[in-house]
Homo-oligomer: A and B are copies of this chain.
Amino acid sequence: MTQSQIPGYTYGTGTVLRSPVSLQDFQEMKAAAMFTDEDIRYLKMSYDVLSDQVEAILDVWYNFFAAQPQLRHAFDQKGTGKPEPKYLAAVRKRFGRWILDTARAEYDQEWLDYQYEIGRRHCKEAKNETDHVDAVEYVSFRYLIPTVYPIVSTLKPFLARKGHSPADVEKMYEAWMKSVLLQVALWSYPYVKDGEY
């Protein structure tokens, strides 16, 4: 599926707001995470490893979320508490694309701007707008950092499936961990009180 065929995936388009975090700010965040050019190389290595496994990875993640009421709640309709299947399906397409974008590791201004957009889509600022759904108003911040662990750790078997050495698998895994930590830090911006980010 090409970019333009994914509904609501606005990466690189004029509708995305400018990130309040500059590339220089992000440089300092990367240093704080020990994220270097070596991580970029290993993320790019993971691209070829993961690109034909996206649907299988999404199955694992969606099953994990579906099994936990406090997580799947974010996809429930506001009034009824029933899940919104069309919402789940629409987000899943963009989530799959996110796997590729993370592994592509072109962390430039357009990418930074889209991270701001992903943050806005998790919190009250813009949740539900993209898919025109009437679901609960925000993803509770309390779960964003803890779920870094399942998201990244469940990748490990997929990273190991293409015959890379254990050392390379480990490096790809660590690069993913740092990248997802940095992304969740970027997504936090609209959740955090003014003047403390």
The answer to whether A146 and B191 have CB atoms under 8 Å apart is no
CA distance A119 to B114 in the complex (A): 28
| Given A28-B70, A141-B188, A174-B153, A146 contacting B196 (CB threshold 8 A) | no
B-chain residues with CB within 8 Å of residue A140 when the two chains form the complex: 196-197
A148 interface hit (Cβ, 8 Å):
yes
Of B21, B33, B123, B146, which is within 8 A of A33 by CB?
A: B146
Binds B, one of A53-61, A78-86, A179-187: A179-187
With contacts A21-B142, A140-B196, A141-B192 taken as known, whether A150 is within 8 angstroms of B68 at the C-beta atoms is: no
Q: How far apart are the CA atoms of A141 and B190 in the complex, in Å?
A: 12
Which B residues lie within 8 Å of A182 (CB)? 145-146
Q: Are B141 and A181 in contact (CB under 8 A)?
A: no
Min CB gap A89→B, angstroms: 22
Tell me if A31 is interfacial: C-beta within 8 Å of chain B.
yes
- A147 and B32 in contact (CB under 8 A), knowing A21-B142, A142-B185, A153-B174? yes
Nearest CB of B to A66, in Å: 13
User: Which of the residues B33, B149, B181 comes within 8 Å of A178, measured between beta carbons?
Assistant: B149
Residues of B within 8 A of A132 (CB): none
A31 to B28, CA, bound (A): 32
Q: Does A34 contact B (CB under 8 A)?
A: yes
A-B pairs with beta carbons under 8 Å apart, 5 shown: A124-B195, A142-B188, A177-B177, A188-B188, A191-B192
What residues make up the interface of A, taking CB atoms closer than 8 Å to B? 21, 25, 28-35, 68, 70-71, 123-124, 138, 140-150, 153, 174, 177-178, 181-182, 184-185, 188-189, 191-193, 195-197
